[in-house]
């Protein structure tokens, strides 16, 4: 079974770093929309959506490393192979930079968007070494170094952001550069941590190509799954920007980011679960899935109470974004589905090596998201309907993934999934049609009833998790 002492040590590193990252993100989320006008904030959010894709510009190469080497110690890995893979990845990054920059210069894009995409293309040169080094730290269970790499990026950005604001800077273009500097310094630290490995003489060209092939073969479907996972949401965001305005795009993105902030804390567990589950005997995997799920869902539903102070904060701190509250009541439950998917479902798909199925289900969700958002935006011209598509798409994806894993693990089916969806629907409906206080009371009572109904299951699951 899992080494509890090691798990708790690793968890303390990742949880602490994720809490710090959460707090730094909260500062960024509170400051930027306060000091930027709605248009500039929209362009900053546009950049953040675009730069999010740079995480996957290795096209599954690093995902293959993650899948193949998780559970190994840093001392066990062949440093000459990893040195060669890093150097090849950097060459690959330079080639991408040149090609994408050439394409960008030829495209007739509005200047503010072109600037945002340009900086995102530059970010590729820093994101590839950062992703390589922090994934290497993750798979070899060096979670202290992993945590520092994670923190540095947001810490540097937050410090520069505060410094620029105090200096009177109010330009989104400068803040985008501050984000880029944070990514660069984070990458530099990652390279420093792995300096012994990277100084090692690279393996022969033949060995490197063989390793490259194996990594691509293992990671390509994870890459497809990851990119399609982002597209489920971002395709709706881009349609909102196209059909309405960059200001509306920014307001929807603010609501979405408030919900996503919770994911940062929850993902602390998921980061360490996969390498450890690879060492667990197969007969324990179904019970771990069932117990973690039973404990996780009540925690997520309790965290949904955060919607109520969040609306008060947005209402008083960001008066120009009061319309975001209407989006927030629809999008806040987003993190419930995404947390369950990121922490539990994706982990088990990778563990059981169903990457192709994961990619297929995520692709289906993208197609569904595109079709529904085109219909709600261009046929019905309904902004709220288009925002609702985000929640519907991620909910259906989560449901498809979960039903598949339950079948493969042969976990006994029950009706908790549908009760959980009912609780989320209730949350949205009461906040949409009732007063603030009435919504809070009704959701709190419903949540208490849910916990009471499943109290024995939760208690038994907690005993096993401990």
**pLDDT by residue (tens digit) across 194-249?**
888 878 887 777 888 888 888 888 888 888 888 888 899 999 999 999 999 999 99
Nearest Cα residue to 88 out of 62, 70, 69? 62
Mean pLDDT (whole number) for 444-449: 94
Q: Which tokens hold the place of 385?
A: 């309907």
Alpha-carbon distance 453 to 444, whole Å? 14
232-248: buried (b, 16+ CB within 10 Å) or exposed (e) per residue?
bbbbbbbbbbebbebbb
In the prediction, which pLDDT does 270 show? 61
Q: Per residue in 301-345, pLDDT tens?
A: 998 999 999 899 888 898 888 888 888 888 888 888 988 888 888
Between 250 and 264, name the one with better pLDDT: 250
Above 80 in pLDDT, residue 18? no
Alpha-carbon distance 283 to 293, whole Å? 17
| Sign of the torsion formed by the C-alpha atoms of 17, 23, 27 and 33 | positive
Q: Please state the pTM of the whole predicted model.
A: 0.89
In the prediction, which pLDDT does 414 show? 65
Q: How confident is the model at residue 426 (pLDDT cuts 50, 70, 90)?
A: very high
Q: Per residue in 33-78, pLDDT tens?
A: 999 999 999 999 999 999 988 888 877 888 888 878 776 777 777 7
- Mean pLDDT over all residues of the chain? 86
Nearest Cα residue to 265 out of 25, 26, 19, 30? 19
| Sign of the torsion formed by the C-alpha atoms of 274, 277, 283 and 288 | negative
What is the percent of the chain where pLDDT is above 70? 92
Nearest Cα residue to 228 out of 393, 91, 76? 393
């Amino acid at each position: 079974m899992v080494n509890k002492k090691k798990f708790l040590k690793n968890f303390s590193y990742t949880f602490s770093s994720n809490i710090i990252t959460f707090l730094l993100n909260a500062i960024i989320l509170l400051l930027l929309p306060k000091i930027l006008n709605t248009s500039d904030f929209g362009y900053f959010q546009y950049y953040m959506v675009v730069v999010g894709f740079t995480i996957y510009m290795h096209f599954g190469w690093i995902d293959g490393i993650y899948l193949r080497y998780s559970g190994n110690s840093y001392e066990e890995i062949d440093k000459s192979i990893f040195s060669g893979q890093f150097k090849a990845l950097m060459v690959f990054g330079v080639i991408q930079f040149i090609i994408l920059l050439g394409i960008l210069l030829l495209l007739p894009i509005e200047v503010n968007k072109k600037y945002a995409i340009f900086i995102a293309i530059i970010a590729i040169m820093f994101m590839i070494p950062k992703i390589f080094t922090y994934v290497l730290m993750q798979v070899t269970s060096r979670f202290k170094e992993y945590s520092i790499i994670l923190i540095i990026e947001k810490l540097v950005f937050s410090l520069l952001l505060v410094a620029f604001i105090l200096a009177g800077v109010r330009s989104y273009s400068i803040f985008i550069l501050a984000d880029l500097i944070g990514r660069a310094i984070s990458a530099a630290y990652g390279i420093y941590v792995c300096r012994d490995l990277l100084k090692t003489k690279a393996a022969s060209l033949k060995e490197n190509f063989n390793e490259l092939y194996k990594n691509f073969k293992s990671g390509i479907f994870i890459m497809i799954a990851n990119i399609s996972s982002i597209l489920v949401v971002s395709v709706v965001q881009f349609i909102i920007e196209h059909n309405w305005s960059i200001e509306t795009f920014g307001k929807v993105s603010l609501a979405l980011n408030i919900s996503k902030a919770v994911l940062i804390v929850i993902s602390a567990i998921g980061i360490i679960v996969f390498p450890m589950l690879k060492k667990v005997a197969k007969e324990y995997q179904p019970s771990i899935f069932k117990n973690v799920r039973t404990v996780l869902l009540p925690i997520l539903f309790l965290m949904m109470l955060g919607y109520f102070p969040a609306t008060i904060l947005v209402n008083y701190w960001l008066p120009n974004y009061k319309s975001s509250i209407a989006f927030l009541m629809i999008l806040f439950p987003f993190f419930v589905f995404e947390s369950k998917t990121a922490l539990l479902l994706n982990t088990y798909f990778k563990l059981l090596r169903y990457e192709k199925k994961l990619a297929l289900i995520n692709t289906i969700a993208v197609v569904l998201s595109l079709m529904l958002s085109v219909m709600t935006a261009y046929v019905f011209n309904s902004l709220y309907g288009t925002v609702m598509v985000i929640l519907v798409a991620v909910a259906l994806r989560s449901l498809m993934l979960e039903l598949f894993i339950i079948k493969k693990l042969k976990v006994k089916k029950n009706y908790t999934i549908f009760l959980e969806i009912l609780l989320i629907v209730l949350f949205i409906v009461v906040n949409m049609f009732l007063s603030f206080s009435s919504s809070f009371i009704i959701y709190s009572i419903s949540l208490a009833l849910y916990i009471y109904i499943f109290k024995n299951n939760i208690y038994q699951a907690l005993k096993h998790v401990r």
